[in-house]
């Protein structure tokens, strides 16, 4: 396949994923806007509760991302039995990891001990997390469906369901938060109940599609249902646990940065929140390309074509770099108007305008580490990337940022003090991580493995 054809396949795959990711962001935006209009105490509870929930949910969904390269390998090899077996074991894994996640959400005392706020807020946080705990099994089962489709390069079906879910989430939020038709105003708890209904609906519709949709008929995914098998679970966990840890370090890196910056005052924190929000939105683009690139690389490896696999991840990397370079340049030029759109406060605008320059500067490194990490999972490499995230994002990014912000060298410039110190350290950390992962990917993709299907779930 030509380079242009490979790039086109990745772009089409990534576009569907991107639309779905935007729909998922819409859930969070709806929660924030509607809860904020209802009550400021509920909004404070949402801020704390969502931070706890996201850390748990992202880490667990990261474990299930192991399905993407595993299914991709089997699909590339034309092994329908392997795809079916992997899917069934993924369902068992999702149910198993839901239990510790539910425990954390139902008993969040340790997590909430970090939040020094009043009792009224904490009570609402516990109610919010308690409802979300019951949504976790359904949410993780839907991630199994998503991982299966990503491995098969069929993201459009997932995207359509995510858009449907957004259409259901909006009216449910409005009804349950503000009340009506015999239901009292539930505030932040209404957000969680709406999420519970949406997640259960998604899981149910996904199951019906897997049983009835013609696209899955030849796979016979529910035929000869197997019990949990340790050899299969071990293979998924060998990839999934480091992948989940890597996502955890990424998410908590930004969350803990906000905790440190909060010590500098309200204005620096507000400016940081604007920059972090913009960075999260921009990250959806390389994330979508990374998922598509990793899945197609795994399919080529499953087919035994290592030359094509190397071509795929390189084309995916170049596509991501070209797009984020344009976005970074656009952000650098429009960071002032963008900051003003977020906040009317001139002091907050000044901080945000400065920090958005660091967001623009980090785009190439952030895209590189994202594409490289997903491609490495296709080669069954996950532990070293997770360690690099821990050392880079926590060691260099957080620890280095805290040192420069709170105990800077005597000649440290004022322009790089305060929250800028954290963002500078984060840019350096991303640069180090991206260089390491890219070098590892270059080496792994150039070495021919021993004879046999790599990482097979056969037994």
Q: In this predicted model, what pLDDT tens digit does every residue of 256-271 receive, in sequence order?
A: 777 777 677 777 877 7
HSE-up of 127 (CA within 13 Å, CB side)?
Answer: 16
Between 433 and 66, residue with greater pLDDT: 433
User: What does the pLDDT read at residue 428?
Assistant: 94
Both tokens of 26, joined, read 């819409």
- Asked whether the predicted pLDDT for residue 10 surpasses 80, the reply is yes
Q: Determine what percent of the chain is predicted with pLDDT higher than 90.
A: 33
* pLDDT at position 33: 72
Q: Which residue has the higher pLDDT, 393 or 140?
A: 140
Give residue 115's pLDDT.
54
426 against 183, higher pLDDT:
426
The pLDDT of 169-176, averaged and rounded, is 89
> Residue 240: which of 459, 64, 438 has the closest Cα?
64
Q: Cα(first)–Cα(last) distance of the chain, in Å?
A: 33
Asked if the model's pLDDT at residue 450 lies above 60, the reply is: no
Give the pLDDT of residue 456: 39
pLDDT higher for 47 or 174? 174
By mean pLDDT, which of 47-61, 304-318, 367-381 is the weakest? 47-61
pLDDT at 143: 93
Picking from 28, 30, 24, 26, the residue whose alpha carbon sits closest to that of residue 50 is: 28
Please report the pLDDT score of residue 95 as a whole number.
95
Residue 178 has what pLDDT? 84
Q: What is the mean pLDDT of the chain?
A: 85
> Exposed e or buried b for every residue in 232-249, given b needs 16+ CB within 10 A?
bbebbbebbbbbbbbbbb
Q: Per mean pLDDT, which range of 55-59, 101-105, 117-121, 324-328 is the poorest?
A: 117-121
**pLDDT for 457:** 39
Q: Please compute the mean of the pLDDT values over residues 114-127 and round it to a whole number.
A: 72
For 261-295, the DSSP string reads HGGG-HHHHHHHHHHHHHHHHHHHHHHHHHHHHHH
Q: Output phi, psi for 13, to 5 deg.
A: -60, -45
- Tell whether the model's pLDDT for residue 197 goes beyond 60: yes
Judged against a pLDDT cut of 60, whether residue 91 lies above it is answered with yes
Angstrom distance (rounded) from CA 378 to CA 401: 33
Residue 377, pLDDT above cutoff 50: yes
Rounded to whole angstroms, the Cα distance separating 379 from 239 reads 10
Is residue 319 scored above 80 in pLDDT? yes
- Of the listed ranges 42-51, 81-90, 208-217, the least confidently predicted one is 42-51
Is the pLDDT assigned to residue 57 strictly greater than 70? yes
The pLDDT, as a whole number, for residue 454 is 40
């Amino acid at each position: 396949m030509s380079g242009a054809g490979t790039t086109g396949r990745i772009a089409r795959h990534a576009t569907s994923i991107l639309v779905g990711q935007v729909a998922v962001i819409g859930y969070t935006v709806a929660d924030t806007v509607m809860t904020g209009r209802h009550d400021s105490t509920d909004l404070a509870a949402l801020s704390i509760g969502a931070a706890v929930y996201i850390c748990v949910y992202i880490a667990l969904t990261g474990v299930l991302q192991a399905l993407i390269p595993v299914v991709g390998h089997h699909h590339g090899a034309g092994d329908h039995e392997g795809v079916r077996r992997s899917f069934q074991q993924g369902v068992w894994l999702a149910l198993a990891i839901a239990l510790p996640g539910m425990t954390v959400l139902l008993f969040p005392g340790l997590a909430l001990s970090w939040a020094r706020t009043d009792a009224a807020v904490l009570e609402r946080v516990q109610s919010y997390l308690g409802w979300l705990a019951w949504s976790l099994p359904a949410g993780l089962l839907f991630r199994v469906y998503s991982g299966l489709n990503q491995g098969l390069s069929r993201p459009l079906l997932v995207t359509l369901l995510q858009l449907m879910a957004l259409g259901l989430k909006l009216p449910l939020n409005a009804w349950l938060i503000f009340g009506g038709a015999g239901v009292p105003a539930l505030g932040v708890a209404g957000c969680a109940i709406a999420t519970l209904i949406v997640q259960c609906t998604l899981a149910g519709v996904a199951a019906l599609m897997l049983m009835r949709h013609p696209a899955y008929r030849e796979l016979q995914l529910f035929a000869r249902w197997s019990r949990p098998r340790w050899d299969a679970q071990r293979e998924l966990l060998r990839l999934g646990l480091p992948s989940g840890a890597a996502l955890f370090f990424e998410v908590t890196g930004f969350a803990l940065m906000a905790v440190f910056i909060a010590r500098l005052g309200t204005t620096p924190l507000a400016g940081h929140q604007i920059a972090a929000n913009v960075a999260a939105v921009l990250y959806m683009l390389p994330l979508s390309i990374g998922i598509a690139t990793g899945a197609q690389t795994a399919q080529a490896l499953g087919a035994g074509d290592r030359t094509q696999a190397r071509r795929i991840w390189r084309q995916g990397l170049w596509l991501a770099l070209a797009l984020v370079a344009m976005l970074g340049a656009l952000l650098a030029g429009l960071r002032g108007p963008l900051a003003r759109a977020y906040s009317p406060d001139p002091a907050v605008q000044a901080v945000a305008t400065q920090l958005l320059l660091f967001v623009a500067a980090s785009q190439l490194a952030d895209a590189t580490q994202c594409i490289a990490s997903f491609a490495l999972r296709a080669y069954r490499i996950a532990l070293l990337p997770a360690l690099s995230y821990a050392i880079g994002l926590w060691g260099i990014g957080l620890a280095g940022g805290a040192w420069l912000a709170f105990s800077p060298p005597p000649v440290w410039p004022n322009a790089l003090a305060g929250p800028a110190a954290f963002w500078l350290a984060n840019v350096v950390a991303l640069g180090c991580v991206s260089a390491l992962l890219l070098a590892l990917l270059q080496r792994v993709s150039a070495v021919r493995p021993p004879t046999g299907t790599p990482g097979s779930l056969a037994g």
